[in-house]
Amino acid sequence: MRATTSRKRKRRDSYPSSPDGILTLKDGGAKSRRFFSRMRIALGLEYDGAPFHGWQSQADRSGVQDALERALAAIAGARTPTVAAGRTDAGVHATLQVAHFDTDAARPDTAWVRGVNAFLPGSMAVRWALTIGAEFHARFAATGRHYTYLLLDRPVRPALLYQRVGWYHRPLAVEAMRAAAAALLGKHDFSAFRAAECQAKSPTKTLDRIDIAREDDVIRFDFHADAFLQHMVRNVVGALVYVGNGRQAPSWIAELLESRDRTRGAPTFGARGLYLTGIDYPQHWNLPPTVVPLSIPRC
């Protein structure tokens, strides 16, 4: 009995796992195939970007991805790699980020929400979870992305909203910025607003929304595009500030866009005021809400 039990244990422990969800077993020299269920789960997330060094996993485990994967592993009982719709920079927030992961762990969707949230830091939360088809991909299935930038323009720097808004020390001309921003709408080469380290294959993107509005001493910039280059929104905001403070005429934005030269642009504006507010997907995925408009925080 002991020898038989030992042999069984050894065989069970050596079962190979494969990505396609197939186990190949040997029984008396004959091969048989057993299938197990490997599920793909989509998640909707929100997070305060201030405590993290961006979405992407870091060597010191300080990325949003690191915190999420630690919490998922606690529920799944195994390492659980994730893929996000967009890799936000350090300090950038999200009212709705979408990610997916694959797992063999059979859990109710509520476990991937309340259970995972129990292991996440207070600055991050799963809003919803959904078991979805294996063809879904958080990044490659996305058809559009939404960002909002909040800019406080007053003489005194923020304290309570220090990590929540960008800041400029005097009032900016919103109408001039609106006029300038119109030149950016449509399909363009946005190289003049692209970070030097950007890894996007093409600088050509279609920007179909830039709304600029003032609410008291906060200026709100709402953007929508098929995709964004690294630092694109923050570089656009920086350039528009040059127009709003009178340093450049509204026509300068069109000239800068046409130049495709990042060195001619304004400095990259700070990450604190930037929020990823949603991801667009085709309706056939039947996802819960993937866009959560930002409400301006008050102090």
Active site residue 66: no
Tokens of 159: 């304290």
Task: Give whole-number Cα distances, 239 to 110, 174, 176, 292, in Å.
Answer: 44, 13, 12, 26
Rounded Cα gap, residues 83 and 181, in angstroms? 32
DSSP letter, residue 75 = H
Tokens of 186: 């449509």
Of the listed 48, 66, 89, 153, which one is catalytic?
A: 89
Q: Helices 174-181 and 232-244: crossing angle, nearest 10°?
A: 130
Q: DSSP for 24-51, please give it.
A: EEEETTEEEEEE---EEEEEEEEE-STT
* C-alpha torsion angle, residues 235, 236, 242, 246 (rounded to 10): 180
Tell me the catalytic residues: 89
